[in-house]
Structure 1
């Protein structure tokens, strides 16, 4: 039986130092990428997770090293929350020595241990189902977690994957970062119905949350994810979130009102107000950390890659 729930908005905010550090590290990493593009230091494109950093940070202790994580085109925060490796990721994006994938993956296509990201919308869903089936048979208690956006529900692979996941009863965790816009198209103009109803059509459990509070979010998710591990039922978790930055490095077609709404829902000023000096001290520390890393990576020679 499918159960759909919605969590209330969190009230008073609190946060541990490791979580605060990770949040602010990701924020300054993403801001730095946009600054590097403005200065002509980066080529190609990139898709930042500004405004959505709280989601992978909340998941950081809910997921384990045994779990497979499948990310998407907006995946820097997913990688950094899991590995705390801004040096390797920045070198990868810039094609410099020390790159996590020798500079051939760039911003969107990263492979490390049990982490894989791709820029192809929906491509990871059926792959994650196959991995989840393998885990059910060989590593009970491990799961496959796949990050998608609301726009990805326009891809047929999502529905084929949900169908297989439910029929085969595999430990699949679908993490939907619903920021209300698919590149430049508001979700309200391109999605009929709801994500909850779409999950229901496949008898897949659904949970929706609107909180921006990392600790509240983690407390909500922990028992749900435990159920996926213990019983092998797939689960769709829908996060109400807001994209602060452009779709990629500079193509923001939203109205001023929509951008202002996203900024009002940003976790950054909320934690700054709630945590006071502890926030500002950590913010300065992480800003300096990313600035030092950026200077170092910029000075490195280009990366090289040889086929094994």
Structure 2
């Protein structure tokens, strides 16, 4: 039997679209809002394509958690590494702006960031990796952090995990090594209160914070959905990891406003409705003139319409 070799896709030159990613000259409040709006509309567009039957399989959207991705990744520099999980789209888009590459990847097309063979959960690009295996990406992130340390670099690894990942033994093995060896690793725990359809109080004993502190790892904890506040907190955390070379944790109590995957949601409707009041885009709009956020919304919409049209036409 002959097994065809796996194709390794060529890396494409990425040019961030200022309509979705903004520019360095744009006021920070506007740029952060623009990037969150970009992620939100990408995810909503993706779910719409599933409903149309354009896409197969499933996907895990990050609607409601955009501020975590944007606030943290705003401080990631060239040479740093980001590691994500099954809910990775927002992290990838905040890092690269590569809407076409990701859309084509989820469509299974050759122009996708991984040649159409990674799909929604398994995205690999320079400085970015995601994996659908719960907790499996944490040892990898620590390994890259160790490599950076051995090279004498001030580069850091940032790994995003969810509250459900706290049940995985590999996480605690990694915490032990990361603390013992002083690895330049920032763990961002996005606690969205539900592990698929199970609330955290039914599957997570004790304190989330204490789990890290037991290894001597400092934890900064927040319940904010304000991207400006997360931006400031994440900036401090990444700077501390970069200067000390030691592992730290940013524990963000957030909320997922959409299904776990594309159609399953068993949460009380009134609970979800209440969280829409304090969702990240609504909070960000409070400090932006209505004419400004409406202009940004229109620019993002136009950019994504072009992405979808292009992706549909790809072979």
TM-score for both structures, normalised by structure 1: 0.90
Match of 1:188 among 191, 197, 201: 201
Deviations 1:122-141 (A, max 9, x none): 00111111111111110421
Matched, 1:117 2:130: yes
* Aligned twin of 1:51: 64
Matched, 1:210 2:217: no
Deviations 1:230-275 (A, max 9, x none): 1121111101111010000000111112211321221222333432
Secondary structure, in 3 states, of the residue corresponding to 1:130?
helix
Secondary structure, in 3 states, of the residue corresponding to 1:274?
coil
Structure with greater contact order relative to length (CA < 8 Å, sep ≥ 6): 1
Matched, 1:154 2:167: yes
Aligned length: 288
Where do 5+ consecutive residues of structure 1 fail to align? 1-13, 302-308
Matched, 1:136 2:149: yes
* Aligned twin of 1:291: 305
Contact 2:237/2:250 (<8 A) preserved: no
Matched, 1:201 2:240: no
CA distance in 2, matches of 1:253, 1:62: 35
TM-score for both structures, normalised by structure 2: 0.88
* Aligned twin of 2:254: 241
Shift of 1:295: 1.6
CA distance in 1, matches of 2:81, 2:237: 17
CA distance in 2, matches of 1:294, 1:179: 29
Deviations 1:7-43 (A, max 9, x none): xxxxxxx953322221111111000011011111100
Matched, 1:279 2:293: yes
Kindly tell me: are residues 214 and 139 of structure 1, through their superposed partners in 2, closer, same or farther at Cα, counting changes over 3 Å? farther
Shift of 1:88: 0.5
Matched, 1:255 2:268: yes
Where do 5+ consecutive residues of structure 2 fail to align? 1-26
Secondary structure, in 3 states, of the residue corresponding to 2:159?
strand
Deviations 1:109-129 (A, max 9, x none): 011011100000000111111
Kindly tell me: are residues 122 and 245 of structure 1, through their superposed partners in 2, closer, same or farther at Cα, counting changes over 3 Å? same
- Is 245-254 or 218-227 further displaced after alignment? 218-227
